[in-house]
Amino acid sequence: MPVLPAGSTVGLFGGSFDPPHAGHLLVAQAALRRLRLDRLWWLVSPGNPLKRHDGLAPLARRIALSRQIARDPRITVTAFEAAHALRYTADLVALLRLRRPNLRFVWIMGADSLGTFHLWQDWRRIGTQVPIAVVDRPGATLRSLRSPAALALGKARIRESEAPLLARRDPPAWVFLHGPRSPLSSTRLRGSPR
Reported as a single tens digit per residue, the pLDDT across 23-68 is 899 999 999 999 999 999 999 998 777 666 577 999 999 999 999 9
Helical ranges in 105-155 per DSSP H: 111-114, 123-129, 141-145, 148-152
Backbone φ and ψ for 11, nearest 5 degrees, come out as -85, 135
Q: Is 127 exposed, middle or buried (0-12, 13-18, 19+ CB in 10 A)?
A: buried
Where does residue 40 rank: exposed (0-12), middle (13-18), buried (19+ CB within 10 A)?
Answer: buried
> Which is more confidently placed, 127 or 51?
127
Contacting residues for 63 by C-beta, under 8 A, at least 6 apart: 44, 77, 78, 79
Query: CA 109, CA 24: separation in Å to the nearest integer?
Result: 10
Among 18, 15, 20, CA closest to 57: 18
Burial class (CB within 10 angstroms; exposed 0-12, middle 13-18, buried 19+) of 60:
exposed
d(CA 65, CA 17): 9
123-127, 139-143, 162-166: segment of lowest average pLDDT: 139-143
142 exposed, middle or buried (CB, 10 Å; 0-12, 13-18, 19+)? exposed
As a whole-number percent, the residues of the chain with pLDDT over 70 amount to 89
Please report the pLDDT score of residue 125 as a whole number.
Answer: 97
Mean pLDDT of 171-192: 70
Q: How far apart are CA 153 and CA 159, in angstroms?
A: 14
pLDDT over 90 percentage in the chain: 78
List of residues 6+ apart from 135 with CB closer than 8 A: 27, 30, 31, 108, 109, 110, 111, 177, 179
**pTM more than 0.85:** yes
3-state SS assignment for residue 84:
coil
Q: How far is 165 from 139, CA to CA, in rounded Å?
A: 27
Domains of the chain: 9-191 (3.40.50.620)
* Angstrom distance (rounded) from CA 109 to CA 153: 15
**Residue 190, pLDDT score:** 45
Q: Would you place residue 141 in the very low, low, confident or very high pLDDT band (cuts 50, 70, 90)?
A: confident
- Over residues 58-74, the pLDDT tens digits come to 999 999 999 999 999 99
